[in-house]
Amino acid sequence: MTLHPILAALRKHKAGVVLISLQIALTLAIVCNAIFIIQKRIDMVHRPTGLNEDNLFLVTQQWVGAPDGDDPAGLEKLDSMQQADLATLRNLPDVASVSPIRSLPLLRSGSVGGIGMKPLQQKSTVDANFFFGDEHMLSTLGLKLVAGRDFTAADVQHKGFRDESGPVLTIITKPIADKLFPRGDAVGKVIYFDSGSTPTTIVGVVARLQSPIDSGDSGLAWNSVMFPIRQDANFARYVLRAKPGRLVQAMNAVTPALYAANPMRVLDDRSVRSFADIRARAYRADVGMAILMSVICLILLAVTAAGIVGLTSFWVGQRRRQIGVRRALGARKVDILHYFQLENLLIAGIGAVIGILLAVGLNLWLITRFEMDRMPVIYVAVGVLAVLALGQAAVFVPARRASNVPPVVATHAA
Amino acid sequence: MFGYYLELALRSLKRSPGLTVLMVLAIGFGVAASMTTYAVFRGVSGDPIPWKSSRLFVPRIDMWGPSDSGHVGEPPDALDYTDAMALMRDHRAKLQSAIYLIAPSVIPSGAGRSPIPVDGYAVYGEFFPMLDVPFLYGSGWSADDDAHQAAVAVIGDKLNQQVFGGGNSVGKTIDIEGKDYRVIGVLADWNPQPIFYDVLDTGGYGGGDGPGVFVPFQRAVAVNMSNSGVNLCRVEPTESGFVGLQHSNCIWIAYMAELDGAGAVQSYRQYLDDYAREQRTAGRFSWSPNNRLFDVPAYLEHEHVVPSDTKVSLLVALGLLIVCLVNTVGLLLAKFLRRSGEIGVRRALGASRRAIYAQFLTEAGMIGAGGGVLGLLLTGLGVLGVGVVLPARLAHLARIDPSLLMLTVLVAVVATLLAGIYPTFRASRVQPAWQLKTN
Q: Are residues B113 and B34 in the same domain?
A: no
Distance CA(A218)–CA(B243), nearest Å, equals 33
As a whole number of angstroms, the distance between CA A351 and CA A311 comes to 15
Q: Considering B194, B223, B258, which residue would you say is the last residue of a domain? A: B258
Task: Let me know if residue A279 belongs to a domain.
Answer: no
Close Cβ partners of A116 (under 8 Å, ≥ 6 residues apart): A123, A124, A125, A191, A192, A193, A195
Cα separations in angstroms, B194 against A73, B120, B202: 42, 16, 9
Q: pLDDT tens digits, chain A, 414 residues: what are they?
A: 577 878 887 887 788 889 899 999 999 999 999 999 899 889 888 999 999 999 999 999 888 877 777 778 888 899 999 999 999 999 999 999 999 998 899 887 778 888 989 888 877 788 899 999 999 999 999 999 999 999 999 999 988 876 767 789 999 999 999 999 999 899 999 999 887 888 999 999 999 999 987 766 667 889 999 999 998 888 899 999 999 999 999 999 999 999 999 888 888 878 899 999 999 888 887 888 888 889 889 989 998 998 888 888 888 888 888 889 888 898 899 999 999 999 999 999 999 999 999 999 999 998 888 778 889 999 999 999 999 999 999 999 999 989 998 888 878 765
**Residues pairing with B294 in the sheet:** B58
Say if CB B173 and CB B182 are below 8 A apart. Answer: yes
Three-class SS state of A126: strand
Helix (H, G, I), strand (E, B) or coil at B412: helix
Domain assignment present for residue A321? The answer is yes
Distance CA B33, CA B14 (A): 27
Looking at the structure, tell me whether residues B13 and B98 fall in a common domain. no
Judge if A221 and A324 occupy the same domain.
no
Rounded distance between C-alpha atoms, residue B173 and residue B153, angstroms: 9
Helices A72-90 and A247-261, packing angle to 10 deg: 140
The continuous run of DSSP H or E covering B213 comes out as strand B213-216
CA distance B344 to B438: 10
> Minimal CA–CA distance to B104: which of B198, B176, B158?
B176
d(CA B150, CA B153): 9
Residue B82 in domain: yes
Q: Is residue B348 part of a domain?
A: yes
B294 falls within a domain: no
Q: What is the pLDDT along chain B (439 residues), one digit of tens a residue?
A: 778 888 888 888 888 888 888 889 988 998 998 888 888 888 777 788 888 888 999 999 988 877 654 445 788 889 999 999 999 999 999 999 999 999 888 888 776 677 888 889 999 999 999 999 999 999 999 999 999 999 999 999 989 998 898 889 999 999 998 899 999 999 988 888 888 898 888 777 776 678 899 999 999 999 988 888 888 877 777 777 788 888 888 899 999 999 998 999 999 999 999 999 999 998 888 888 889 999 998 888 888 777 777 788 888 888 888 888 888 888 888 888 888 888 888 888 888 888 888 888 999 999 999 999 999 999 999 888 888 887 776 777 777 888 888 888 898 899 889 888 888 888 888 877 776 665 4
Q: Which structural domain, as residue segments, surrounds residue A168?
A: 65-263
Instruction: Establish if B263 belongs to a structural domain.
Output: no
In this structure, are B42 and B101 located in the same domain?
A: no
Q: What CA dihedral angle connects A6, A8, A11 and A17, to 10 degrees?
A: 0
**Looking at the structure, do residues A258 and A291 belong to the same domain, yes or no?**
no
Phi-psi region of B283 (alpha: psi -120 to 50; beta: other; left: phi over 0): left
Give the C-alpha separation, B279 to B240, whole Å. Answer: 25
The residues, any chain, with a CB within 8 Å of residue B233's CB and separated by 6 or more, are: A113, A194, B248, B249, B250, B251
* Angle separating helix axes B308-338 and B402-428, nearest 10 degrees: 40
In a domain, residue B276? The reply is no
pLDDT of residue B436: 66
| A407 DSSP 8-state letter | G
Q: Which residues of A are less than 8 Å from B237 in CB distance?
A: 162, 164
Same domain, A175 and A317: no
Q: Which of A256, A212, A193 is nearest to A110 (CA)?
A: A212
A192 and A123, same structural domain? Answer: yes
Task: Give the residues across from B60 on adjacent strands.
Answer: B292
Out of B309, B334, B439, closest to residue A16 by CB: B334
Q: B284-316 as b/e, with b when 16 or more CB fall inside 10 Å?
A: ebeeebbbbbbbbbebbeebebbbebbbbbbbb
Phi, psi of A42 (to 5 degrees): -60, -45
Examine residue A272 and state whether it is found in any structural domain, yes or no.
no
Partners of residue A261 on adjacent β-strands:
none
Regarding whether A237 and A126 lie in a shared domain, the answer is yes
Q: How far apart are CA A190 and CA A184, in angstroms?
A: 14
The residues with which B107 forms a beta bridge, in sequence order, are: B175
Q: Name the H helices within A46-168.
A: 72-90, 137-141
Among B258, B274, B291, identify where a domain stops.
Answer: B258
CA proximity to B339, closest of B1, B24, B8, B27: B8
Nearest neighbour of B29 by CB, restricted to A303, A310, A414: A303
Q: Is B329 exposed, middle or buried (0-12, 13-18, 19+ CB in 10 A)?
A: buried
Q: Dihedrals φ, ψ of B107, to 5°?
A: -105, 110
Do A9 and A156 sit in the same domain of this protein? no
Q: What are phi and psi of A164, to 5 degrees?
A: -100, 15
Same domain, yes or no: B32 and B87 = no
All residues of chain B having their beta carbon less than 8 Å from the beta carbon of residue A296 are 33, 37, 313, 316-317, 320
Do A304 and A194 belong together in one domain? no
Q: Are strands B120-123 and B213-216 parallel, antiparallel or unpaired?
A: parallel
Q: Do A299 and B29 touch (CB under 8 A)?
A: yes
Where among A263, A298, A326 does a domain terminate? Answer: A263
Q: Is residue B283 part of a domain?
A: no
Indicate if B207 and B79 belong to the same structural domain: yes
Asked if A166 and A17 sit in the same domain, the reply is: no
Phi/psi for B87 (5° steps) reads: -65, -40
- A52 inside domain: no
The Cα of A144 is separated from the nearest Cα of chain B by a number of Å equal to 30
Instruction: Identify the domain containing residue B236 by its residue range.
Output: 62-258
Give the number of other CB atoms < 10 A from CB of residue A298.
13
| CA contacts within 13 A on the Cβ side of A294 | 13
**Would A278 be classed as within a structural domain?**
no
Q: How many CA atoms lie within 13 A of B137 on its CB side?
A: 15
Count how many domains chain A has.
Answer: 2
Judgement on whether residues A111 and A230 belong to the same structural domain of the protein: yes
For A235, the 3-state DSSP assignment is strand
Q: What are phi and psi of A100, to 5 degrees?
A: -65, 150
> Could you say which of B40, B67, B338 has the minimum Cβ distance to residue A314?
B338
- The whole-model pTM stands at 0.77
**Closest among B427, B411, B426, B334 to B379, alpha carbons compared:** B411
Residues B209, B85: one domain?
A: yes
For residue B341, the chain A residue with the least C-alpha distance is A414
CB A227 within 8 A of CB B266: no
Distance (Å) from the C-alpha of residue A107 to the closest C-alpha of chain B? 14
Q: Which residues contact B370 (CB under 8 A, 6 or more apart)?
A: B20, B24, B27, B28
| Distance separating alpha carbons of residues B211 and B217, to the nearest angstrom | 15
A361 and A295, same domain (yes or no): yes
Q: Cβ B33–A295 below 8 Å, yes or no?
A: yes
Q: What does the DSSP assignment read for A165-196?
A: PPPSEEEEEHHHHHHH-TTS--TT-EEEETT-
Beta bridge partners of A229: A157
Size of interface A-B (CB pairs under 8 A): 179
Helices B353-389 and B2-15, interaxial angle, to 10°?
Answer: 60
CB contacts of A45 in chain B (<8 Å) are none
* Domain final residue, candidates B223, B258, B293: B258
Same domain? A321 vs A384: yes
Q: Which of B204, B387, B202 is nearest to A284 (CA)?
A: B387
For chain A positions 268-307, those within 8 Å of chain B (CB to CB) are: 268, 281, 284-289, 291-293, 295-297, 299-300, 302-304, 306-307
Q: Residue B69: its pLDDT value, please?
A: 47
- Among residues A53, A55, A52, the alpha carbon closest in space to that of A247 is found at A55
**Rounded distance, CA A171 to CA A200, Å?**
10
How far out from the chain centre does Cα A82 lie? 35
Mark which residues 228-257 of A lie under 8 Å from B by CB: none
Instruction: Report yes or no on B303 lying in a domain.
Output: no
**pLDDT, position B330:** 86
The closest of B10, B11, B4 to B366, measured between CA atoms, is: B10
Q: How many residues does chain B have?
A: 439
- Give the residue from A263, A295, A314 where a domain finishes: A263
Flag whether A114 is in a domain: yes
Q: Are both B221 and B182 inside the same structural domain? A: yes
* Residue B57 bridge partners (DSSP): B257, B295
pLDDT at B353: 86
Chain A hits for B22, CB-CB cut-off 8 Å, are 306-307, 309-310
Same domain, A211 and A327: no
Give the phi and the psi of residue A39 in degrees, each rounded to 5: -60, -40
Q: Are B259 and B268 in contact (CB under 8 A)?
A: yes
Residue B206 and residue B69 share a domain: yes
Element (H, E) at A369: helix A333-370
Closest residue, chain A, to B419 (C-alpha): A19
For residue B173, the SS3 value is strand
Tell me, yes or no, whether A55 lies in a domain.
Answer: no
B184-208: b or e for each residue (b if 16 or more CB lie within 10 Å)?
A: bbbbeebeebbbbbbbbbbbbbbee
Does residue A238 fall inside a structural domain? yes
**In a domain? residue B133:** yes
Helical packing angle, A4-11 and A14-45, nearest 10°: 100
- Relative to beta strand A199-206, strand A190-193 is antiparallel
> Looking at the partner chain, which of B33, B309, B330 has a beta carbon nearest the beta carbon of A16?
B330
The reply to whether B238 and B370 lie within a common domain is: no
Domain count across chain B:
2
For residues B19 and B88, state if they share a domain.
Answer: no
